[in-house]
Chains A and B, each alone.
Chain A
């Protein structure tokens, strides 16, 4: 294992609840690292409904999923949280001295005193396209995300999809590939208009190809593709390809959370309603991932849970230290932490 990060608290999940937990912990001088499988903060708000309005956040008659995320990021900025995106927490173990050790699929180890699981509906995972036998090529020549641009250098790349990921990677990879073909079922894209325009310019300049069609069978051997078949109105066309990047959206799976030895209720982590602590002391669970009598899966509820969790986490991080309850409106000490005075 190459990297080891030591900190007070690791928060698993940078959805709205994980983000707000940074604020509540920050007021108590606790520093956080957040880990999320997504490549940006916001969880469900950013991934499933960035443009849709939310009407039940106190003080906001209306705010979009992305708007709420942006505001939370601004609110927690004074506490300097450190984000680790595009990695999944795969292992969580309690050590003999009571601390915790976490591992991610990006070969990192985190050591901390408190773990806050804010994993929401679970980890977002890419949807596999409906293509027979695609598994044998996965992570060898078929990828659902770009981790290392260099894996695509001088390759014949086929990107499938019409959303932001497909368009972003078309634009980012174009300068380094040997050839690039974007394939989408229709001539309308759900991506930022500026990216769509840029992509169309590149097509006009002959720098990339665009095909209107659907991805069919794959040809190749030993995990290495050599042709991707595209079914178009004009028939089936085999396209030479050495890398395939399908962007078919994401789905949520509980994932490794189920293997961490915590007491679960129908795949949700059982907690108490005083501290929002799981069956393992020092591991807290807040937001959509937890269960207790009367639980409502609302952002509002997750925020409340974060506040109570923080008080209990403080006692674990700094045992014996007296915590004085203060309001942000009247406490100069808190205002200094927030950088407003």
Chain B
């Protein structure tokens, strides 16, 4: 399966997705600009992505913790999610997401 990730500079990358992995892990392991400071513990919001319409609706509802964290980002949009909370499965084959500016590493911040 694959996911399509647009980075902060607008370039789209086609990444090999792995069933059962977190979207954040795939994006991080492919070396894109994602900070993911807490390693997927849903406690940092530095893995913030915008999920493209059509895919966004397919995702399970965010938890209250995820909602709280998203609210703490400056660049939240209606289609915001934390990519560490999106578990990949065949249903999400071809999902398109865009990295939010607030997901950038400090050294490469947009």
Q: Residues of A with Cβ closer than 8 Å to B?
A: 48-49, 52, 121-122, 127-130, 162, 185-186, 188, 190, 214, 248-249, 251-254, 266-267
DSSP class of B's interface residues: helix, strand, loop or mixed?
loop
Question: B: which residues have CB within 8 A of A?
Answer: 37-38, 41, 43-46, 64-65, 67-69, 71-74, 76, 106-107
B contact residues around A48 at 8 Å (CB)? 37-38, 41, 43-44
Total number of residue pairs linking A and B with CB closer than 8 Å: 45
Contact A252 B37 (CB under 8 A): yes
User: Quick check: B41 and A162 within 8 Å, CB to CB?
Assistant: no
The 5 A-B pairs at the shortest CB distance, nearest first, are namely A248-B72, A130-B74, A48-B38, A267-B107, A48-B43
A267 proximity list for chain B (CB < 8 A): 106-107
Q: A214 touches which one: B71, B73, B106 (CB < 8 A)?
A: B71
Q: Which residues of A contact B106 (CB under 8 A)?
A: 122, 253-254, 267
- Which residues on A sit within 8 Å (CB–CB) of B67? 185-186
**Neighbour of B64 across the interface among A188, A248, A249, CB < 8 A:** A188
In whole angstroms, how far apart are the Cα atoms of A188 and B69 in the complex? 14
Bound-complex Cα distance A162 to B41 (A): 18
Contact B73 A130 (CB under 8 A): yes
The residues of A that contact B71 with a CB separation of less than 8 Å are 130, 185, 214
Given contacts A49-B38, A214-B71, A249-B72, 13 further A-B contacts (CB under 8 A): A48-B37, A121-B37, A185-B71, A186-B64, A186-B68, A188-B64, A249-B43, A251-B37, A251-B46, A254-B106, A254-B107, A266-B107, A267-B107
- Within 8 Å by CB of B72, from A122, A129, A190, A266, lies A129
Residues of A within 8 A of B64 (CB): 186, 188
Could you pull out 17 A-B pairs where Cβ atoms are within 8 angstroms?
A48-B44, A49-B41, A128-B74, A130-B74, A185-B67, A185-B68, A186-B64, A186-B67, A248-B72, A249-B69, A249-B72, A251-B37, A251-B44, A253-B106, A266-B107, A267-B106, A267-B107
Residue of B nearest to A252 (CB): B37
A127:B38 contact, CB within 8 angstroms: no
Q: How far is the CA of A45 from the CA of B64 in the complex (A)?
A: 22
A249: B residues at CB distance < 8 A: 43, 45, 69, 72
A121 to B37, CA, bound (A): 8
A39–B93 alpha-carbon span in the complex (Å): 45
Roughly how many angstroms separate A188 CA and B68 CA in the complex, as a whole number? Answer: 11
Task: Give B41's nearest chain A residue, CB to CB.
Answer: A49
Bound together, the chains give a CA A127 to CA B67 distance in angstroms of 15
Q: Which of A49, A127, A162 has the most C-beta atoms of chain B within 10 angstroms of its own C-beta?
A: A127
Chain A residues with CB under 8 Å of B43's CB are 48-49, 249
Q: Please, how many angstroms separate the alpha-carbon atoms of A50 and B3 in the complex?
A: 33
What is the distance, in angstroms, from A301's C-beta to the closest C-beta of chain B?
16
Give B38's nearest chain A residue, CB to CB: A48
**Contact residues in A for B41 (Cβ distance below 8 Å):** 48-49, 52
Residue of A nearest to B69 (CB): A249
Q: What's the minimum C-beta distance from A119 to chain B, rounded to whole angstroms?
A: 13
A190 to B64, CA, bound (A): 10
Shortest distance in angstroms between A131's beta carbon and chain B's nearest beta carbon? 9
> Judging by beta carbons under 8 Å apart, are A130 and B44 in contact?
no
**Most chain B CB within a 10 A radius of its CB, from A49, A185, A251:** A251
